Amino acid sequence: MTSDVTAGFRNVVRIYQAVAGEVHALRGVDADFPRGSVTAIAGPSGGGKSTLLSILALRDRASAGTVTLFGADVTRARGPALKTLRRTGIAWVPQRPSHALFPHLSALENLAQVARTRGRAGGLEPGAALEMLALSHRAGARPGRLSGGEQQRLAVAAALTHAPDLVVADEPTAELDDENAERVVRALTAVAAEGTTCVLSTHDSRALSRLPRVLHLRHGVLSAERAGAEVQEADGRVRTAAAVIDSAGRLQLPPEALRLFPGRRATVRIEGGEVVLRAPDVNLEARS
């Protein structure tokens, strides 16, 4: 992994033991997260988004594969090294924002405590982070006195205060209206421009349309990568989707392409140096 990449997954697998048997949350994920980028992880519920983010934030451990962070293999990190990475190198925004906040401290005191714990200079001061997320008028309020959306924005503000090298956020716009969802996206983009790598999971079409890079996760497998700005075409807004070929040579089609193969079978031909996939001719197969 180069110095331009903050984190990387190589054939990462996560298996949980459940009453009904093994649950394969991740099935060999390969992905890089470049320094100073904003990446959204999208996909249906149960597809593995939260598991991927938990492993990336060192809140969970891969069952197999390699996780690299800041140029070092952290797959089996533990003890003081793990605690230091979590405290100073990674900011974590959980789905339930109250889990990231100190209930006995005001909004401003929460951010000041985060700043002291993180021990970093530069970046957003607590007051500036509150202002960026439109919470200055709630600086003296404790989390219990804030609405759900205000708590969510405060958790994001805490992550971005003297932002570390990596910010990982699980559904940070889920409870927000359009205006405040846009504020969160702008805030993440702003800290990324200063070199922080931001990775978030989301179902939010507003965030997905604004963010420059989207990885689609389905059934624990990385199925597609979308990059670049959306472009307007006659039948709607689209952007280029790159299907992902994993380390075992398996090709994952994006959902819109998968719909072209209702029988889950494809004919594969090499034509002029290109690989062409077509749905089988059902009538031809019946005759044969």
**CATH number assigned to the domain comprising residue 62:** 3.40.50.300
Helix axes 148-160 and 107-118, enclosed angle (nearest 10): 30
Specify whether 190 is located in the same domain as 62.
yes
Do 216 and 111 fall into the same domain?
Answer: yes
What is the tally of structural domains in the chain? 2
Q: Which run of H or of E encompasses 206?
A: helix 205-210
For residues 177 and 226, membership in a common domain is answered with: yes
Per this entry, what is the length of the chain? 288
**Residues 70, 52 share a domain:** yes
The parent domain of residue 177 ranges over: 5-252
From first to last of its 288 residues, the chain has per-residue pLDDT tens of 456 999 999 999 999 988 888 889 999 999 999 999 999 999 888 889 999 999 999 999 999 999 999 999 999 888 998 999 998 899 999 999 999 999 999 999 999 999 999 888 888 999 999 999 999 999 999 999 999 999 999 999 999 999 999 999 999 998 899 999 999 999 999 999 999 999 999 888 888 888 889 999 988 998 888 875 454 455 555 545 566 666 556 666 666 677 777 777 778 788 777 788 887 775 544 443
Q: Are residues 103 and 39 in the same domain?
A: yes
> Is 143 in the same domain as 219?
yes
Same domain, 144 and 268: no
The burial class, CB within 10 Å (0-12 / 13-18 / 19+), for 97 is buried
Task: Give the global pTM.
Answer: 0.82
